[in-house]
Structure 1
Amino acid sequence: MFNIFLIVIFLCLGIVFQRFRFLPDNLAHNLNRYLIYVVLPALALLYLPKIELVPELALPVASAWISFGLSWLIFGILGKKLKWGNSITGCLVITSGLANTSFVGFPIVQALYGDEGVKVALLIDQAGSFIIVSSIAVIVASIYSVEKKRKRDITKKILTFPPFLFFLIAIAMNISGFEISGNMETLLRMIAATLTPVALTAVGLQVKISPDAYKSKFLWFGLGYKLLFIPLTILILFKFIFKLDGLMLQVSVIEAAMAPMITGSIIAITHHLEPKLASLMVGVGIPLSFLTIGIWYFILA
């Protein structure tokens, strides 16, 4: 309970910091860079070598791919039938299909399920969400916008992204049976401890909600899919069809229930796919997700 309290505190702190003019304008950007280049690699090295790689782990990873695939299918069909236009359709596919499985997901999973939960969440994020946002989401954005992205650029982005490189290193360590210990493990744990305060402060700094935010029907289509429909789908699919239970089921559903990913929103914005709607999906989705995630947690308990 104390960890949940800390999450709310640091999120609110980041929102309050938006009003402090003396803070640098790029503070959120720099905090995000610290998370990407320092914290996420540290988490990979700390937790992934200790995971027992079993076939059941493929299902949690698949949850991220299922979420994006269904988003593309559902909003692609609705957009065409209801004549929404490529801009709205592309925006909803990307922002609804990608969950904030790292910056928001890791602190919440750690608070709810501890380090064992983070190990599963790391796999979902690195082998699922990250690869999707770095490749397929960019392809979708190119399809629905006038801009084009070369395959070579997409591949280079994936292979040179630090968290993904350390994900591969950590998996290799796991396979070879090598684990970090001693002073290095202590250092990694100190870095990992900064995840919650830094990540949630950075998210708070980037949350923007305009007065007319609640008037958009497309916002509620997107958030309805993201916060309610897809976690329910994952729960039914994994529990009753694939017979998954315990921690892996719980983390899979909770990660699927996370708010839209900030990076996904940025991809939509940079490709001119309804920038206002993309911002609202994150700005409204993150605060609202704290309520819906609490509901999912009690359903899973």
Structure 2
Amino acid sequence: MTNLILVILCLTIGILLQRVKEMPDNAPKTLNTYLIYIVLPALALLHIPETALSFELLLPVLTAWISFGLSWLIFGTLGRKFSWSKTTTGCLIIVPGLANTSFIGFPIIEALYGSEGLKIALLVDQAGSFIIVSSIAIIVASIYGHGKQRKRDVTKKILTFPPFLFFLIAIAMNIDQVTLTGIPHEILKAFAATLTPIALIAVGLQVKINAQTLSLKALWYGLGYKLILMPVLIFISYRWIFNPDDILYKVSVMETAMAPMITGSIIAINHDLNPKLASLLVGIGIPLSFGTLLGWYYLVG
């Protein structure tokens, strides 16, 4: 409950800070740079080396890949049909294509399904959402961003993207069974703990909710996909694979139903992929998801 209150509070603080004249215009981008270069690498080093890998957890992890793949297919097609700008199409592929499987997903899953559910959620996030946002999302951002980029430049951008670089380091640590303890571990925890407040305040600084923004069709296409369509697809298709009472099934559906991923919005904003829409998808999607998640919880039991 504390984490959920923190989410709402930080979004509200960000929105209220818009009224502070001393707040610089580039504050959100500055905060996002800190998250990308410091916090996300810290999260990788903190969690991935300690994550136990298991073949039976492959299907829950695949939900993140399925969601992003379908997002690219659907919004890429709709973008051509409705003649959306490339930046709007790219934003809709990345932000609704990624679920907020970590700092919103973790506390919700732990509250509903305990430590066993949290272990599954951790792998969905690290082996699914985190890899995608650190690599494929960068490719999409490069394709749909302003100007054409050479394949060599895109590859360089991925390989030098700090979260992806530290993800590879963390995977090597996992394979070699190397974990950080003592002071290094505590330092990483301290940086990782700043993700939620900083990211949500940055989003709140850019959210401007009014009749005009709420009438944006692209916003509701994105939220409809993220909060309804994708959970429906996993809810139906995974029932053919899992027993409906299996915790793997329940966590798969619930993690898919989470609000759009804040890190995805950071990538979109930093690549100038319709920053206004990226902020709205998260800023409206998070509080809206609390209601839709309740419905999904009653459906999966």
Taking structure 1 as the reference length, the TM-score comes to 0.81
Match of 2:259 in 1: 258
- Quote the RMSD (CA, aligned, Å): 3.2
Q: C-alpha deviations, 1:162-206, integer Å up to 9, x for none?
A: 111111111111111111111111222222222222222222122
SS state at 1:107 partner:
coil
Match of 2:182 in 1: 182
- Tell me the distance in 1 between the aligned counterparts of 2:205 and 2:151: 33
Match of 1:246 in 2: 247
Match of 2:59 in 1: 59
CA contact (8 A) 2:101 2:258 kept: no
- Tell me the distance in 2 between the aligned counterparts of 1:154 and 1:97: 16
Structure 2 residue corresponding to 1:132, chosen from 136, 149, 153: 136
- CA 257–111 in structure 1, closer or farther in 2 if over 3 Å, else same: closer
Q: C-alpha deviations, 1:22-72, integer Å up to 9, x for none?
A: 122222222212211111111111111111111234334432332232233
- CA 31–278 in structure 1, closer or farther in 2 if over 3 Å, else same: closer
- CA 37–238 in structure 1, closer or farther in 2 if over 3 Å, else same: farther
Q: C-alpha deviations, 1:137-157, integer Å up to 9, x for none?
A: 533x27xx8x42211111011
Taking structure 2 as the reference length, the TM-score comes to 0.81
Match of 1:107 in 2: 103
- Tell me the distance in 2 between the aligned counterparts of 1:48 and 1:240: 30
Which ranges of structure 1 fall in alignment gaps of 5 or more residues? none
Residue pairs, 1:74-223, within 5 angstroms: 74-78=74-78, 83-87=81-85, 91-92=88-89, 94-96=91-93, 98-99=95-96, 105-114=101-110, 116=119, 117-139=121-143, 141=144, 147-223=147-223
By how many angstroms is 1:230 displaced? Answer: 1.0
By how many angstroms is 1:255 displaced? Answer: 4.7
Letter in 1 for 2:126: L
- Tell me the distance in 1 between the aligned counterparts of 2:203 and 2:268: 13
CA contact (8 A) 1:100 1:258 kept: no
CA contact (8 A) 2:97 2:260 kept: yes
Q: C-alpha deviations, 1:249-268, integer Å up to 9, x for none?
A: 52664255322631464378
- CA 127–249 in structure 1, closer or farther in 2 if over 3 Å, else same: farther
Q: C-alpha deviations, 1:106-130, integer Å up to 9, x for none?
A: 2212322356434542222222233
Letter in 2 for 1:113: I
Match of 2:115 in 1: none
CA contact (8 A) 2:31 2:198 kept: yes
Match of 2:114 in 1: none
Identity %: 46
The alignment of Structure 1 onto Structure 2 pairs a total of residues equal to 290
- CA 239–48 in structure 1, closer or farther in 2 if over 3 Å, else same: farther
- Tell me the distance in 2 between the aligned counterparts of 1:282 and 1:86: 20
Divergent runs of 4+, >6 A:
none
SS state at 1:212 partner:
helix
- Tell me the distance in 1 between the aligned counterparts of 2:3 and 2:276: 32
CA contact (8 A) 2:37 2:163 kept: yes
Which ranges of structure 2 fall in alignment gaps of 5 or more residues? 111-117
